[in-house]
Amino acid sequence: MSKPVYIAAIDIGTHSTIGAIAEKLPNKTIQIKAVEEVLTRPNSVVQGRIKDVSNTLFEIKSICKKLYNKTNIFPNKVYIYSSWLTKEDNYDEWKRLLDSVNNKRKESMTFIPMPQLLALKADLFLTPAEQNNGSLLIDMGAGTTSYILRAKGKNDIAGMVGLGGWLISNDLTFKGLTFEYAEKLKCKLGDAQPEKLEFPNRYISLTPNGPFDINQSIQLLELSKMIEDRVEDTARRFMAKLIKDGELSVAGRKIVLTGGACKLKHIADWYSAKSHVEVRFADALNFIDSDDLSVACNKPKYHTLLAMLISGTEDCRVEKSSSWFKFPKGSNINNAIDNAIETLF
């Protein structure tokens, strides 16, 4: 009987850094064994581009430690992805610092970049019929928006713009809100189509804790219009040319949305109204196991991570026993994490 294969992957995002370990099953699906998410430190990743390599490595090491404590699997080889992490950008600088950190440990980790992930996600999230007819996959992240048009017999049309969901939250900070408050307000009450608001004239009281010591309110209609303006500003960067060239006017073509920022209310309706094609949300049910944890990870913000796990081929385990210790029972987990991470640098 062959030994199970475990894949470890980390998705470095502007909003959060997410990691997981999954087992590759014989039926060509994956079963998630553990998943961890930490908020990316401010200004560490800007518009998908890693700016603070040291902070990013700290978050990666923290996630690997937590995954080990959940699974008892030391992630010796880890697939990584970030929108701009290429050899042409700052990958060489990132790798040099990683090698320096690894030299300080008994056991080092090998990081495997995945630069061709957009095409892979088109393979996974577009059905065969959608790929034959030609469909547009839009990956809406916090700092970037990527897109790929897949059509049988034609070259892919793909690209990325440095605009994402966090710009909406950033707009709201000018109301005197902290960024965290603005993000929650956007997710809970934001709407990409102002005309569909049930109570457009309702005001929401704001008690900001940001740089401006003021109390004020915002009308739901104003909030929705701010969101719609940003959605339109992002979409027109790539949609305008596709529509002009007639790429979305072919019968049977669809738009498929993924990424954490695609959960804005009525975002699918907005894209459908602008493009006049059917719009749906991506799902990973065809390549994840039916256990509770795997199904719970079938969320747009995890789709990049899931694509990495299903495509990975190198087992993440190290054969020798790990020098990484598990948290003792009854200990203060926060202190244990701090002590463990301090040994990494």
Among 168-182, 217-231, 234-248, 311-325, the range scoring the smallest mean pLDDT is 311-325
Q: Using 50, 70 and 90 to split pLDDT, how confident is the model at 334? A: very low
- Cα–Cα distance measured from residue 130 to residue 139, given in angstroms and rounded to the nearest whole number: 16
238, 301, 228: which is closest to 275 by C-alpha? 238
In Å, the largest CA–CA distance within the chain is 67
Task: Give the CATH architecture of domain 5-115+286-342.
Answer: 2-Layer Sandwich (3.30)
Task: Provide the pLDDT for residue 56.
Answer: 82
Q: Using 50, 70 and 90 to split pLDDT, how confident is the model at 66? A: very high
Q: Is 8 or 99 the better-scoring residue by pLDDT?
A: 8
Write the pLDDT tens digit of every residue in 262-302.
888 999 999 999 999 999 999 999 999 999 999 999 999 99
pLDDT of 88 higher than 70: no
Q: Using 50, 70 and 90 to split pLDDT, how confident is the model at 342? A: very low
Q: What is the mean pLDDT of the chain?
A: 81
Q: In the 8-state DSSP scheme, what is residue 288?
A: B
- Cα–Cα distance measured from residue 93 to residue 8, given in angstroms and rounded to the nearest whole number: 23
pLDDT of 144 higher than 70: yes
Q: How many residues does the chain have?
A: 345
CB 140 within 8 A of CB 43: no
CATH class label, 118-281: alpha beta
Show contacts of 207-216: CB within 8 Å, 24+ apart: 208/175, 208/176, 208/177, 208/178, 208/181, 209/177, 209/178, 209/181, 210/173, 210/176, 210/177, 210/178, 210/181, 211/176, 212/176, 214/176, 216/175, 216/176
Write the pLDDT tens digit of every residue in 9-31.
999 888 889 999 999 999 999 99
Is there a shared CATH topology between the 5-115+286-342 domain and the 118-281 domain? yes
- Cα–Cα distance measured from residue 26 to residue 110, given in angstroms and rounded to the nearest whole number: 25
Q: Using 50, 70 and 90 to split pLDDT, how confident is the model at 217? A: confident
Among 56-65, 66-75, 206-215, 220-229, the range scoring the smallest mean pLDDT is 206-215
Task: Provide the pLDDT for residue 48.
Answer: 67
Helix 333-342 to helix 53-71 angle, to the nearest 10 degrees?
130
Task: Provide the pLDDT for residue 91.
Answer: 62
* Domain boundaries defined on the chain: 5-115+286-342, 118-281
How many helices (H) and strands (E) the chain has is answered by 11, 14
Q: Calculate mean pLDDT across residues 128-140.
A: 91
Distance set, CA 222 to CA 174, 201, 202 (Å): 13, 9, 10
- Enter the pTM of the model: 0.82
Write the pLDDT tens digit of every residue in 151-161.
877 888 998 88
